Chains A and B, each alone.
Chain A
Amino acid sequence: MNRSSVEFHANLAADEVALGERERVAGAMRAFTREIGALSALRLESCVHCGMCADACHFYIATEDPQYTPVLKVEPFKQAFKREAGAFAPFFRWFALKRRVTADELERWQHLLFDSCNMCGRCSLICPMGIDVAELIEQARRGLFEAGLAPKELYEKAAHQRRTGQPEASSEPYRDRLLAIGWQFKVEMPLDKPQAEVMLTVPRTDIEHYPAAVAALARVMAHLKADCTFRSDGLIAENYGYYAGGRDWQREISLRLIDQALACKAKVLIVPECGHAYSALRWEAAELIGKPLPFKVRHVTEFLAEALADGRLKLRSADLGVTAFHDPCQLVRKGGVTSAPRQLLHAMGVKPRETTRHVGFNVCCGGGGGVLDIERAAPLRYRVVEEKFHEIDGTGARTFLTSCSDCRRTFDDGKQRFNWQQTPRSLLELVAEHLQGG
């Protein structure tokens, strides 16, 4: 395996520090072996080392550092596959053609798998072999989690969320915070109704940083007269188990929401403006629990676009000037929510001026997938977001919108750093401000 060109120390939670080298390697191998199936094997076997995935990755483009080549990030996983499950695995072991992955290598790969990848999937679109590299990276993260090498911030938040339902302790429980937001913005927060057609969730990022977006969700749902409810025991949409690579934790965190949706007999579960939450619930939860979900999972923009289409939602035109829209990677490229945000914009008379790379090919903000939470990753993240700012500035936009609170937070964080002139705004908030008759 190639050596990393930068030296760094793994960033670990207290529970993880205690693990010995042997346990780390055993944990990683256990997870890698479990993750290797026909699909991942086909992908791992297909790579021809053409290096094109680097040309799609914002971390490579921003730094030109070859260690950020996406497929290189899955090297420990690939090595494990060749040694343990590949067609000629016994030969690789007997003749030492592939060495066993070492704890030191796994430790160095923490930076590549967590700090420098948002699992945004742009690399998957460029691959001439058609390999979904981002999904391999997600599987490789699971190996590092079981090696006790998930970054401290993600591990601790995942552990907390698994235990309590919210990723970190707060001065007041998030359910109380939700009600306080309702009072502050003078909007009723439907909470813990025993039965409702629609179950609502919120991003922890909005609770902490963008309360107006939480109020906007409640306001829009009230305007639609939707039979909906938040649930105290299933409030937070993000899944830190997914970010940290903890497969079982991801499953348990998803189950908390699923159980609440079942308890209130919801037919639809609304994922708010959070991209990775959408991936975790919309595309991965059913696979993790081993059966189809008995309700639909919809991103809030999808739900609103459906309401727009059937005439339940009518919007006033918005005078925003030149407007740019950032397509969140998990919603658009990996999630297929391609038209809903633009349908809402068009309904408000807004025709976004597109960035050079947009919709499925949009360049990621650099903060999603947990990267925003990792303190050590900040300098690298800033290089990515700086590139993004140049692209957005190139549109000449006066207004800048997105539909993911983690993207918004990443841009806001970058704004402070670079004194950027734009203020990223929420599409949902814009919709709430332009309800016809609202």
Chain B
Amino acid sequence: MDLVDFARGPALKVAFVIFFIGVVWRLVNVLLLHHRRNLSEPRRGVAESVFGGLKAMGSRSWPHPEFIKRTITGEALGYSYHIGLFIVILLFAPHIIFFGSFIGVRWPALPNGVVTIFAVITVTLFVAVLFRRLAHPVLRRLSNFDDFFSWFVVALLLVTGLMATAHVGAPYPTILGLHILSFDLLLIWYPFGKLMHAFYIFPTRAVDGYLLTRKGAPS
């Protein structure tokens, strides 16, 4: 068994099992904790509050105008690299074939050259994100192992992917094997760190949007 076969065979299976069980357990663990009952007289009814929760799921994607001046750098960087990641992960032809082999569905790809440009931009943004985390007093103060390791895991995936596309650094099968192994690493790390925010973001926005609307407060 060569490196590629190992990476997309047993290693991927183990990684996926850890990913799946880990994500489910981390979500279930939250649900198993005690739930608070809202006994105060609501200012808004259930339907309006639910709508407020649904609205917050979308509206929190962009800061209120009052805050934009202070947060524009973080917002711009965050949006840019997330969009870059989505393009590189979901619209690159080899990735579509790879994911398609598991789920049986394929979708149109962007030309490889275009995706490569996005990947280079995304890696550059990732470096900027790291630099900002180290340089910004608030971010530096907040940061812990999870912040840096999660950054490393995603950055490794991007860099090995670029190397595989450009055929540099080592023979293609070796780089491809390392790229798939870095994906396995991402799956394994996923449930343990902040990458889980992809699963938490909408429930958290919805719940707090619901609770604030229930009070008639801005959300």
Contacts and interface: CB of A to CB of B under 8 A. Distances in A.
A102 B209 CA distance: 35
A396 interface: no
Nearest to A358: B66
Interface residues of B, number: 60
B131 to A, nearest CB: 14
Contacts of A188: none
Interface stretch (B105-113, B152-160, B200-208): B200-208
B141 A42 contact: no
A42 B63 contact: no
Interface in A57-87: 60, 64, 66-67, 69, 71-72, 85-87
B67 A67 contact: no
A114 B185 CA distance: 42
A67 B30 contact: no
B13 interface: no
B33 A37 contact: yes
B139 A51 contact: yes
A55 B71 contact: yes
Contacts of B35: 37-39
Given A50-B74, A55-B71, A88-B192, A130 B201 contact: yes
A67 B141 contact: yes
Contact of A49 (B40, B56, B147, B203): B147
A126 B63 contact: yes
B218 interface: yes
Nearest to A86: B29
B138 A42 contact: no
Interface stretch (A144-152, A285-293, A402-410): A285-293
Contact of A87 (B26, B34, B140, B143): B26
Interface in A314-335: 332-335
A55 B60 contact: no
Interface string B18-32: 000010011001111
Contact of A125 (B30, B38, B216, B218): B218
B196 interface: yes
Contact of A297 (B41, B60, B66, B211): B41
Contact of B36 (A37, A55, A71): A37
B142 interface: yes
A55 B66 CA distance: 10
A284 interface: yes
Interface string B178-206: 00000000000001101011001101111
Interface string B54-88: 00110011011011001100100010000000000
Contact of B200 (A37, A46, A287, A359): A46
Interface residues of A, number: 64
- Chain B interface mostly: helix
A336 B215 contact: yes
B142 A286 contact: no
A341 interface: no
A360 B200 contact: no
A378 B38 CA distance: 36
B104 interface: no
A49 B200 contact: no
A89 to B, nearest CB: 9
A229 to B, nearest CB: 22
Nearest to A331: B217
Of A125, A291, A293, chain B has the most CB atoms within 10 Å of the CB of A125
B141 A293 contact: no
Nearest to A45: B200
B60 A128 contact: yes
A307 B208 CA distance: 31
B111 to A, nearest CB: 32
Nearest to A339: B216
Given A66-B140, A130-B201, A55 B67 contact: yes
A283 interface: yes
Give me the 6 closest cross-chain CB pairs, A-B, nearest first: A336-B216, A360-B218, A130-B205, A55-B70, A286-B39, A87-B29
Given A42-B203, A132-B208, A334-B217, 14 more contacts: A39-B35, A41-B30, A45-B196, A48-B194, A48-B197, A49-B147, A69-B138, A69-B141, A87-B22, A87-B26, A124-B208, A130-B207, A285-B40, A360-B217
Interface of A: 2, 36-39, 41-43, 45-52, 54-56, 60, 64, 66-67, 69, 71-72, 85-88, 121, 124-132, 282-287, 290-293, 296-297, 332-338, 356-357, 359-361
Interface of B: 22, 25-26, 29-41, 43, 56-57, 60-61, 63-64, 66-67, 70-71, 74, 78, 136-144, 147, 191-192, 194, 196-197, 200-201, 203-209, 211-212, 215-219
